[in-house]
Amino acid sequence: MSRSPDDKVRRWIRPEVRALTAYHVPDPGDAIKLDAMENPYPWPEALVDEWLDVLRRVSLNRYPDPAARRLKAALQEAMGVPEGMELLLGNGSDELIQMLALAVAGPERVILAPEPSFVMYRLIAAVAGLRYVGVPLQADFALDSEAMLAAIASHQPALVFLAYPNNPTGNLFDATAMRAVIEASPGLVVVDEAYAAFARDSFMEALAEHDNLLVLRTVSKMGLAGLRLGLLAGAPAWLEEIDKTRLPYNINVLTQASAEFALAHRAVLDEQTAAIRRDRESLFQALAALPGLQVYPSEANFILFRTPPGRAAALFEGLRERGILIKYLSGAGGALADCLRVTVGTPEENRAFLDALAGLLAA
Ligand SMILES: *Cc1c(COP(=O)(O)O)cnc(C)c1O
């Protein structure tokens, strides 16, 4: 008699879940980590002591404030959330994407997003039991307005995600094309501004102009990826409903206390993100000067580049062997064939990456 659970797994785990590939995060070992859009800078030593003093006073035996009122007020101010709009917090913005999907899920319901974009939109749609429709971007990764409007008309999506700037391409879509999508959409449009700290533009101010617009932000890419804290801004009528899909106490006491502390010392994060924006420009110039690469302009803290045909895998592996981990995107082929993505690190990390890549390209 076999004791393997395979038959029962096949019988009971939903087919759409079995068909998924789990989100894969490689073990970085002690490599220079330029794969996940993290801020490379730690907190100043003096602030670490002050932060630990705050944590010392946190009551671990008590449940957190389920509404995280103090933290929300601090975020409202720090993120420039307009008057009359409210916030919903998530354990990372990933959790908010899942809450949004759960709130609108149903037979024949559709989530729509341009492609390539953030992979979690597709993954979460599948897990929540929604149909996913991806609309290809143009060759230069601009939004294809005509194709988007046609897909919206025919699929009537419950939820549209627009990452602004887009991941993994790094560009801001044309704001007029974005507004056309928002106006043509029968359901919710979520503008995902994970990289707002690095970009010239935002839709936060536009919230009051559209009754179907929500803006998603996170503290991850601005320097607090370990905290797991995202926020969804928008009209209370939407947020009150989406809040019902939230598990109580989703933002733990350590995250609440740490995020409040970090926001009270926001100048540190602002300096770090300003340095990353400057270093992004030098990294862009240096990459563009290497032979054979097509480098895409970025409004985020990463840069997408296309290698000479057929070389992306070997370049990625070569960098790994030299202790530098970036992101390999060529696997899916299509628009990202031959593409790699590098996160902007410290000037020393960027230099090590560029030297290694230059060596590999010359080999
Ligand atoms: C990184 C990223 C997120 C997820 O961020 P978390 O808050 O860390 O879950 C969401 N959207 C986009 C476009 C991202 O690149």
Which amino acid, one-letter code, is at 51? W
Q: How far is the CA of 191 from the centre of ligand 1 (A)?
A: 12
Q: How far is the CA of 229 from the centre of ligand 1 (A)?
A: 10
Residue 285 class from Cβ within 10 Å (0-12 exposed, 13-18 middle, 19+ buried)?
Answer: exposed
> For 275-281, which contacts have Cβ atoms below 8 Å and span 24 or more sequence positions?
275/41, 276/39, 276/40, 276/198, 276/301, 276/344, 277/198, 277/301, 279/344, 279/345, 279/346, 279/347, 279/350, 280/198, 280/344
Residue 141, classed as helix, strand or coil, is coil
Strand order in the sheet with 294-295: 294-295, 302-306, 339-343, 327-328
Q: How far is the CA of 97 from the centre of ligand 1 (A)?
A: 9
> Which element (helix H / strand E) includes 231?
strand 230-234
Beta partners for 239?
A: none
Q: How far is the CA of 213 from the centre of ligand 1 (A)?
A: 18
Mutate to test the pocket of ligand 1, among 161, 167, 219, 231 (most ligand atoms within 8 A of CB): 167
Residue 119 class from Cβ within 10 Å (0-12 exposed, 13-18 middle, 19+ buried)?
Answer: middle
- Contact (CB, 8 A) for 204 and 79: yes
User: Which atom belonging to ligand 1 lies closest to the Cα atom of 300?
Assistant: 15
Which amino acid, one-letter code, is at 1? M
**Residue 52, CA distances (Å) to 57, 58, 130, 228 in order:** 9, 10, 43, 18
- Contact (CB, 8 A) for 15 and 128: no
- Give pLDDT tens digits for 242-263: 999 999 999 999 999 999 999 9
The label of the residue with tokens 């602004």 reads 164
Positions in the chain short of pLDDT 70: 1-2
In angstroms, the CA 220 to CA 230 distance is 8
Specify the pLDDT at position 26. Answer: 80
Q: How far is the CA of 155 from the centre of ligand 1 (A)?
A: 25
Question: Which residues form the pocket of ligand 1, taking CB atoms under 6 Å from any ligand atom?
Answer: 37, 92-94, 118, 163, 167, 192, 194, 218, 220, 225, 230
For residue 186, cis peptide bond before it (omega within 30 degrees of 0): no
Beta-sheet pairing, 32-33 with 324-325: parallel
Give how far the C-alpha of residue 95 lies from the chain's centroid of Cα atoms, to the nearest Å. Answer: 11
DSSP 174: P
Q: Which residue's CA is minimally distant from atom 14 of ligand 1?
A: 194
